[in-house]
């Protein structure tokens, strides 16, 4: 593991501390039963702010091969809401950019093909790029050609050299995962046709701070972006943030439309102004975050402790990466939570990192009917509660942990 002392984006040395989540296990390193007895790697998780370019980031860089290659358990296709969100995105671009059989849509971190399959369905050529073996294989099985590797500036050169430049480049929830942020963005510039658009989604730092979504912080996420920080980053590579949308997915995200020609629209001007007005580009915006997160920890511990003292049984829903941060920081183990359920079959049968709580299929909820379910995947609360209507009808209650613990 490497620890940076300078800003990942601009190289400034005076980083200011925001939050220390302590030493934690890797959020997506789910354990098999055999691994429970082995030492589990843990790394510090420290969040800092760059006063020069306003980028919120963590200090630690765990090698990407350790994080993403073997046994990466995240498969995008297990959320219906995410599938709908992605399909709408693809159909909108196909119509707006008049894409057809002569176009090329590329996705960086294409996972199991959840997005590109919408282009394939209507005969538009695609290329997925993803280093995670299992998801890349799943994509190939559904007809999404996928290079099982990391996207880099060199790979972009190679593809462009072969004449494979893209009309659309998607990069959803990947920019924050990349240590060489500038190399990645320069790769986008190389791979994009002069008339093309890169459509990039990132969790939005303003939502993260305002809704106390501290659990979005884990070693995979090196950066937490504002439009201000991204606008600067893109401009450094001859790319322009021309349009932006705020979306509810993942607790609040930005969808950024980036092109080689500068035609900055009102959506971008408005958001940049809002960030200045709300001081998102200043350390004061982040100063109270650590105290709020500590308060959340105290409140959630107290709530779970009181329920356990009354003899209530509690399970959790969603073996999400963010769930690992939450249980490890708050200190929720098998004494509080009997089991976690998750629809993702690649996660079932394994154990949560750090706390070693078993992960089972969602049917276990009705079988065991614990009185409470802690929603670790609170970002999909509506979808999950809808799907678990019967559990609720039988008297089960849900606990939503952020922005403050609440029983619903």
| Shorter beta-carbon distance to ligand JHZ: residue 165 or 346 | 346
Contact at 8 Å (CB) between 245 and 254? yes
The DSSP code for 225 is: B
Residues facing 172 on adjacent strands: 201
Contact at 8 Å (CB) between 388 and 368? no
- Please choose, from the candidates 403, 361, 369, 293, the residue with its C-alpha nearest in 3D space to the C-alpha of residue 45: 293
Number of CB atoms found within 10 A of residue 287's CB: 12
CA distance linking residue 346 with residue 325, whole number of Å: 19
Structure token digits, residue 359: 């992960």
> Shortest gap between Cβ of 144 and ligand JHZ (angstroms)?
17
| Shorter beta-carbon distance to ligand JHZ: residue 171 or 241 | 171
| Shorter beta-carbon distance to ligand JHZ: residue 184 or 240 | 184
| Shorter beta-carbon distance to ligand JHZ: residue 208 or 272 | 208
Contact at 8 Å (CB) between 186 and 153? yes
Number of CB atoms found within 10 A of residue 317's CB: 27
Contact at 8 Å (CB) between 225 and 175? yes
| Shorter beta-carbon distance to ligand JHZ: residue 94 or 198 | 198
329-341 burial code (b ≥16 CB/10 A, e <16)? bbebeeebbbbbb
Binding site residues, ligand JHZ, CB under 6 A: 74, 78-79, 173, 203, 220, 250, 318-322, 342-344, 347, 377, 379-380, 383-384, 387
> Which of helix, strand or coil describes residue 279?
coil
For the chain, what is the largest distance between any 2 Cα atoms, rounded to a whole number of angstroms?
Answer: 66
> Shortest gap between Cβ of 170 and ligand JHZ (angstroms)?
14
> Shortest gap between Cβ of 353 and ligand JHZ (angstroms)?
12
> Shortest gap between Cβ of 4 and ligand JHZ (angstroms)?
20
| Shorter beta-carbon distance to ligand JHZ: residue 99 or 106 | 106
> Shortest gap between Cβ of 95 and ligand JHZ (angstroms)?
26
Which residues 6+ apart lie within 8 Å of 12 measured at CB? Answer: 6, 50, 51, 52, 53
Where does 66-185 show beta strands of DSSP type E?
Answer: 105-108, 126-129, 146-147, 166-172
| Shorter beta-carbon distance to ligand JHZ: residue 215 or 259 | 215
> Shortest gap between Cβ of 358 and ligand JHZ (angstroms)?
15
| Shorter beta-carbon distance to ligand JHZ: residue 165 or 343 | 343
| Cα–Cα distances in angstroms (integers) from residue 4 to residues 182, 185, 203, 216, 240, in the given order | 15, 20, 22, 20, 28
| Shorter beta-carbon distance to ligand JHZ: residue 125 or 353 | 353
> Shortest gap between Cβ of 347 and ligand JHZ (angstroms)?
6
> Shortest gap between Cβ of 68 and ligand JHZ (angstroms)?
9
> Shortest gap between Cβ of 44 and ligand JHZ (angstroms)?
19
| Cα–Cα distances in angstroms (integers) from residue 240 to residues 13, 182, 282, in the given order | 27, 15, 23
> Shortest gap between Cβ of 193 and ligand JHZ (angstroms)?
27
Contact at 8 Å (CB) between 272 and 231? yes
Classify strands 42-49 and 56-58 as parallel, antiparallel or unpaired: antiparallel
| Shorter beta-carbon distance to ligand JHZ: residue 72 or 240 | 72
CA distance linking residue 89 with residue 213, whole number of Å: 25
> Shortest gap between Cβ of 309 and ligand JHZ (angstroms)?
29
């Amino acid at each position: 593991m490497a620890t940076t002392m300078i800003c990942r984006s601009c190289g400034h040395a005076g980083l200011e501390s925001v939050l220390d989540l302590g030493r934690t296990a890797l959020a997506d390193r789910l354990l098999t039963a055999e691994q429970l007895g082995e030492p589990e790697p843990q790394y510090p998780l420290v969040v800092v702010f760059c006063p020069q370019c306003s980028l919120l980031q963590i200090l630690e860089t765990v090698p990407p091969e350790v994080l993403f290659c073997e046994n990466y358990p995240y498969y995008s296709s297990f959320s219906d809401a995410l599938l709908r969100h992605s399909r709408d995105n693809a159909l909108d671009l196909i119509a707006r950019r008049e894409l057809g059989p002569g176009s090329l849509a590329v996705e960086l971190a294409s996972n199991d093909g959840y997005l590109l399959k919408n282009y394939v369905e209507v005969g538009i050529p695609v290329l997925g790029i993803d280093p995670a073996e299992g998801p890349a294989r799943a994509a190939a099985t559904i007809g999404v050609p996928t290079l099982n590797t990391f996207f880099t500036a060199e790979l972009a050169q190679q593809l462009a050299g072969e004449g494979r430049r893209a009309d659309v480049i998607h990069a959803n929830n990947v920019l924050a995962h990349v240590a060489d942020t500038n190399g990645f963005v320069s790769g986008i510039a190389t791979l994009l046709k002069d008339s093309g658009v890169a459509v990039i989604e990132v969790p939005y730092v303003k939502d993260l701070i305002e809704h106390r979504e501290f659990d979005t912080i884990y070693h995979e996420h090196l950066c937490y972006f504002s439009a201000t920080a991204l606008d600067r980053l893109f401009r450094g590579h001859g790319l322009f943030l021309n349009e932006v949308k705020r979306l509810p997915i993942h607790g609040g995200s930005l969808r950024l439309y980036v092109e080689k020609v500068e035609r900055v629209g009102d959506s971008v001007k408005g958001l940049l102004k809002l960030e200045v007005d709300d001081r998102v580009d200043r350390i004061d915006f982040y100063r109270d975050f650590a105290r709020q997160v500590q308060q959340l920890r105290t409140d959630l511990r107290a709530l779970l402790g009181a329920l356990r003292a009354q003899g209530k049984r509690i399970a959790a829903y969603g073996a999400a990466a963010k769930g690992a941060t939450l249980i490890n920081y708050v200190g929720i183990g098998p004494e509080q939570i009997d089991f976690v359920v998750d629809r993702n079959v690649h996660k079932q049968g394994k154990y949560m990192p750090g706390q070693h709580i078993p992960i089972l299929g969602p049917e276990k909820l009705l079988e065991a009917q614990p009185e409470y379910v802690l929603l670790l995947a609170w970002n999909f609360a509506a979808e999950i509660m809808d799907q678990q209507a019967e559990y609720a009808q039988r008297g089960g209650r849900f606990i939503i942990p952020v922005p403050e613990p609440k029983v619903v």
